[in-house]
Each structure stands twice: as structure tokens, then as C-alpha cells.
Copies of this chain bind each other. A is one copy, B any other.
Amino acid sequence: MYRVDLNCDLGESFGNYTLGMDEKVIPLITSANIACGFHASDPDVMAKTIKLAKKSGIQVGAHPGFPDLMGFGRRNMSVTPEEAKHYVLYQIGALDAFCRMNGIRLQHVKPHGALYNMAAKDYELAKGICEAIASYDRNLIVLALSGGELARAAKDMGLRVALEVFADRAYEEDGSLVNRRKEGAVITDEDIAIERVIRMVKEQKVTAITGKDIEIKADSICVHGDGEKALDFVKKIRESFERENIEICSLSEL
């Protein structure tokens, strides 16, 4: 029996601005990455999101990002590992306060956007992030790009790690994601995408953009809830998993 987690970013609204279809995607996923007020969200949104997650019973994780609301945390910033450590620690603590108010536990931490991408490639930065997580709670699961530096740093520090794969993204031979600006970076054919993700889960393999098969481990699949099309795709993934006897469960149940 194969098991895998479905994770999705949640709680990315801010003030008067609404983003994402949180209520609709929650029934479809097992783990939610919740924005913490740096790249998105604010204390009111966090209160509402954690309440919603509690009600639904899905597991929640902190989704810390760069202090760049204008760029939605998607722009690389040359922060030091020490700064990254403090930014992540601050955001975990802030989000966890809302978990405490609602009597639930944080399950994991997944860095957001540019911080996620940079940490997948920069071991020192990744170590800073892991130090924040370890110093807050060694039981937190680090949700990291399969094969990336964050996963490696977390393992080196003895932290629990869950490896994430992307259904709709092409991979380089070294296991890194193909840069979005390159041709073929995004898998647009949903059937192919689903086929690929099933193979990643069952065979721990994926065909890189070069055509070569590479090893890849998949504990969790990143899905999106920012539109009807995205929601339909998650439903399709769930249906195909049922056919393939892949059980969907949260990171903590893996």
C-alpha cells in the first residue's frame, strides 16, 4: 500500500484582499501550509484560517516567507542564514499562537516561495531555517523539496523530513525543478502530470526534462487551491490515487 500527503498553501489573504478558495480546497487535502504575515496574511486572517483548519481536521504547518508583501515572497532576497533563522522562528511562533488559541498542534514547516527555492539550493541558508525549527520544536516536520538542500540540512540535524514533489513541474537531471522561464518547465497536460506523480509515488522515479529517468522520493504532493481549474486537478489526482491504491494521509500519519 502506498501512502502520500497532499499539501496546499492556505490563508494567503491580507486585510481587504482575498486570495485562494480555502474552504473549497480544505476537504481535498491533508496538510495546509499557512502564511504567517510576512509574504501574505495578517493576524485576523491567521485566526480565521487556523479556526477553519481545526474545524476541518486537516493538519497545519507554518509557511514562513520573506518580508516582501509587495512581491508575495516570490523574489529572491540576499538574507543571511542568521536572518532567515530569525524570520522563520518569528513566523512559526506567531502562527503557533493561533494554534494554541484553538487547541491544535503545528505539524510541519514549509518555507514559501523564494525562501523555499533558495533553501533548496543553499545548504547554509537551509541550516539557518532548520535551526529555527529545531529550537522551536524538534517534533515539527520539515516539508522540503525532494532531493534539495533543505531536506539534506534537516536530516543532518536529526529533524523529521517530508519530501515534496510537484505534479505539474518538470525536473532537471539533478532533481531540481526546471526554472519556470525555461520551455517545458510546467507540465500542462493533466493526464501526463498525474501519470508522472503516480510513478513518483509508486516507483520513486520521474523522467527528467532531458529524457533520463531519475530517482525521486515523494512523501507529499504540492497542490493549489487558487481557482476552479486547480481544484478540479486536485480532484482528478484524488480519483486516480483511489484507482491506484494510493492512500492519501497527512504527513504525521506517513
Give A residues with C-beta under 8 Å from B: 14-19, 37, 40, 42-44, 46-47, 67-72, 74-79, 82-83, 85-87, 89-98, 100-101, 114, 132, 135-137
Question: In the complex, A86 Cα to B15 Cα: how many Å?
Answer: 13
A69 to B37, CA, bound (A): 13
Chain copies in the assembled complex: 4
A37 engages B71 (CB within 8 Å) = no
| Residue pair A44, B101 in contact (C-beta under 8 Å) | no
Beyond the given pairs A44-B86, A76-B78, A93-B95, 11 more chain A to chain B contacts, judged by CB atoms under 8 angstroms and listed by A's residue number, are: A15-B72, A16-B19, A37-B90, A46-B90, A71-B77, A75-B78, A76-B77, A77-B78, A90-B94, A94-B97, A100-B136
Give CA–CA (A87, B87) in the complex, Å.
18
Cα distance A14–B15 when bound, in Å?
11
A-B contact pairs, 7 of them (CB 8 A): A15-B69, A16-B19, A46-B86, A76-B78, A77-B77, A93-B93, A101-B136
Select A114's contact among B71, B78, B97, beta carbons within 8 Å: B78
Closest to A101 in B: B135
